A = this chain, B = another copy of it.
């Protein structure tokens, strides 16, 4: 059942934080890595796990891999994404991740450009 696959994806703290961060928009591995403070191989493997199950998609941009949530996630995933939004208030980790994300975004303008480029490319 796909519902269970989604629960399996979200029942690990690293993956849950990854998915939560990606609800804010596409991100490259190195940024995810620096926000989580996790070793590169861990981030990469968890992203692969999510990708294999259709929870995230990836696309290369030059030397960076940009990960994103699918445009139209399956309904079961969408429900969980909504739940995640509600959890941001009550769970400190998520809020801190968001803070770090904002900082990264402000430090690095090219990220916006990349995302914009890919978004238009897909239309």
Which residues of A pack against B, CB within 8 Å? 1, 3-4, 7-8, 10-13, 16, 75-76, 79-80, 83, 86-87, 90-91, 93
Contacts and interface: CB of A to CB of B under 8 A. Distances in A.
Identify which of A11, A13, A91 gathers the most chain B CB atoms within 10 Å of its CB. Answer: A11
Nearest to A74: B90
Given A7-B11, A8-B11, A11-B11, A1 B93 contact: yes
A39 B11 CA distance: 26
Contact of A12 (B4, B76, B79, B83): B4
A3 B1 CA distance: 21
A12 B87 CA distance: 22
A9 B108 CA distance: 39
A1 to B, nearest CB: 6
A28 to B, nearest CB: 25
Contacts of A91: 1, 3
Nearest to A84: B3
Contacts of A93: 1
A4 to B, nearest CB: 6
A90 to B, nearest CB: 7
